Amino acid sequence: MMNDYVVETINDILNEFIVGFHGPKESMFSNLFNIGLYEGGVWKIRVELPDAYPYKSPSIRFVNKILHPNVDETSGSVCLDVINQSWSPMFDLLNIFEVFLPQLLLYPNPSHPLNRDAASLMMKDRKQYDQKVKEFCELYAKKEDIMKPTAGEETDDDEDVTDGETCSSDDEIDGRADP
């Protein structure tokens, strides 16, 4: 399926699996735009393919912790328009792991967050945000830990934005109160 990815099915069901996802490598613009913070980190991404896949988008969430404005810190759900709202059957899992998720990590959108604390810190103190991202990578995204069982990984009760919930976008007003 994909090169350099560790893939493990959940309960031997082919439409539910965990993929080991490596943070995107720095680019030539990394120093200019302060990106590449997630390089070296490895995350477990839970993928659930609906019966109507590829006509319906897969459910994608981070299993191990990540600090990012567009990833819910509790459920690991991802706020990514291309998965949640504008999915097309032309897309496949390779697009998600080679393009969509790397772009999400390289270019967070703190204006429409799922993790308000991360977004607030990013907008108020970018240097402290960057340091905290690196700390999270060191604590929770180690390569040697990615395929070890994680508590709660097998549950289906987690909220998941990719299962119909929507995150805020540029076209809508976020009606939730600030914490």
- Over the stretch 130-172, which tens digit does the pLDDT of each residue have? 999 999 999 999 887 765 654 444 444 444 444 444 565 444 3
Question: What distance in Å separates the CA atoms of residue 13 and residue 20, rounded to the nearest whole number?
Answer: 17
175 vs 128, higher pLDDT: 128
In CATH, which superfamily holds the domain spanning 7-147?
Ubiquitin Conjugating Enzyme (3.10.110.10)
Q: At residue 72, does pLDDT exceed 90?
A: yes
Instruction: Say whether 79 is catalytic.
Output: yes
Residue 170 is predicted with a pLDDT of 45
pLDDT at 148: 62
Q: Taking each helix axis from N to C terminus, what angle separates 116-124 and 126-140, rounded to the nearest 10 degrees? A: 140
Of 37, 71, 78, 79, the catalytic one is: 79
Task: Give the least confident one: 8-17, 22-31, 105-114.
Answer: 22-31
Q: Contact 92/54 with Cβ under 8 angstroms? A: yes
Q: Does the structure show a pLDDT above 70 at 122?
A: yes
Say what the pTM is.
Answer: 0.78
| Domain definitions of the chain by residue range | 7-147
Q: What percent of the chain has pLDDT over 70?
A: 74
Query: What CA–CA distance (Å, rounded) separates 74 from 22?
Result: 20
Give yes or no for residue 4 having a pLDDT over 50. Answer: yes
Q: What is the mean pLDDT of the chain?
A: 81
Tell me how far apart the alpha carbons of residues 104 and 156 are, in angstroms, rounded to a whole number.
Answer: 24
